[in-house]
């Protein structure tokens, strides 16, 4: 999720200034990167429930905030169409940051 949204964010920001980057494949990649947010949340909920684990305090908050961010980007895409590349570029980087923060809080991945 982190890497795909970082790439999508940088690609969209680049497309804001370089029109030759505005290709259909970019939007397919953005959709795939956003879907990873939902897949990761779904698999996380499944693992938490089946393994009877307890997630770190804010880990789920950051994960579900990424889903909310995707919803906000999708809901505003038509209203600010002239800034859609900035919206998805900054949004992708924001989601990347949420993912990094969620991983940083996870004691299983940080050794804390």
Total count of domains within the chain: 1
DSSP string, 35-98: HHHHHHHHHHHHHHHHHT----TTHHHHHHHHHHHHHHHHHHTTTTGGGHHHHHHHHHHHHHHH
Residue 54: give the domain boundaries. Answer: 2-110
pLDDT, tens only, 43-72 = 988 988 898 888 777 888 898 999 999 999
Q: What local confidence, expressed as pLDDT, does residue 110 receive?
A: 52
Instruction: Specify burial of residue 86 (Cβ count, 10 A radius: 0-12, 13-18, 19+).
Output: middle
- Among 102, 104, 1, 15, smallest CA distance to 60 is for 102
pLDDT in tens, the chain (112 residues): 999 999 999 999 999 999 999 999 999 999 999 999 999 999 988 988 898 888 777 888 898 999 999 999 999 999 999 999 999 999 999 999 999 998 887 655 555 5
């Amino acid at each position: 999720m982190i890497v795909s949204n970082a790439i999508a964010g940088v690609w969209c920001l680049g497309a804001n200034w370089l029109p030759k980057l505005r290709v259909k494949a970019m939007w397919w990649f953005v959709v795939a990167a956003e879907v990873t947010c939902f897949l990761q949340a779904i698999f996380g909920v499944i693992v938490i429930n089946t393994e009877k684990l307890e997630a770190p305090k804010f880990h789920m908050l950051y994960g579900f905030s990424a889903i909310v961010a995707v919803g906000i980007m999708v809901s505003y895409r038509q209203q600010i169409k002239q800034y859609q590349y900035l919206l998805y570029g900054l949004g992708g980087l924001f989601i990347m940051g949420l993912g990094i923060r969620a991983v940083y809080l996870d004691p299983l991945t940080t050794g804390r």
